[in-house]
Amino acid sequence: MDRSWDLLNQGQTHAARLSAQKALEIKRNAPDAHNLLGYIYALEGAFDAALEHYRTAMELDEWFLDPILNAAELLAHPDADPNEAIRLCRNAADNMELSAEETADAALIEIEALMSLNNEAEACSRVYEALSHPEPLSETYVTMFGRILYECGDILGATQLIQRLDDVTSPTADTWYLRGLLAREQGHRIDAVKAFSATRDADLLLPPVEWAPSPDEWLQSLRAAIQLLPAQQQDSLINAEVHVFPYPTQAMVQDEQDPRQILRLRHVLPEHNAFGEILFFTRNAERMLSPLHPEADLARYLAGELDPIETEH
């Protein structure tokens, strides 16, 4: 087990899986081995295998929190079973003694599931409920809850929450990113550019994720995602030329563009109600999209980019 975790931390997913399977051969009813295998299968994009091992771990030890939250995290996706994810998280919160961080983890997954069900009002309410925990939360959790408030449209609440981190000397990339989003929303251009630049600088240092597809594979996923869109939206993209980049350029960031955008539509052709270019940022895509549902996630992202433009037209 220790060897498997070491290999996993080194990014050697295949070797880690072989080691975990060996551990399971030695002790077939070890819930921690099943949980580890589930985690590895999830990293490899094998949803059903991951969920099977998580459920086995839960059956072997009903008080083992890790497989409960890991399974809930998989199920929280819109294409999985968000209601079951909510049930698992609430059951853990109601029946187990959780630390402040464990409580926050369960709340974040439950909120993700609520967002998948388009229940933003309850998701926002759940954030404030989680923040009422008497123990202080780390920067990471404060930022994650702040981001949810931002996505729910509670700009004031997100701003007040992120101000708790004003004294942090070396903010994380996620903290810088939320500061940038809020500054841009409030029209503070200089602050937005500063925060977005810091976000991009930090993101550039990150290694690729284990499951990262090649640029050609990403192009195939993008084409498949376009096919999932309604016919009118497909038509607006059918002649667009795709340009693949790892990240948005510094010039884009200086223009207050999102350093973590997955793609950008450019050169609208009004006479055809169509786009001439799609800029596709693969390193952002690999970090933000689910390895289990990349095409479906891309289709949602594209639809979100197209909807405001269609409304304007």
Q: What is the pLDDT of residues 2-61, one digit of tens each?
A: 999 898 888 788 899 999 999 989 988 999 999 999 999 998 888 999 999 999 999 999
Q: What is the pLDDT of residues 138-195, one digit of tens each?
A: 999 999 999 999 999 999 999 999 999 999 999 999 999 999 999 999 999 999 999 9
Which residues of the chain form beta strands (DSSP E)? 241-245, 263-269, 274-281
In this structure, which amino acid lies at residue 278?
I
- Residue with the two structure tokens 């449209």: 153
CB atoms within 10 A of CB 209: 14
All domains of the chain in start order, with CATH: 215-312 (3.30.2010.20)
Q: What is the pLDDT of residues 201-229, one digit of tens each?
A: 999 998 888 778 888 999 999 999 999 99
Angle at 31 between CA 25 and CA 34, to 5 degrees: 60
Q: How far apart are CA 50 and CA 70, in angstroms?
A: 9
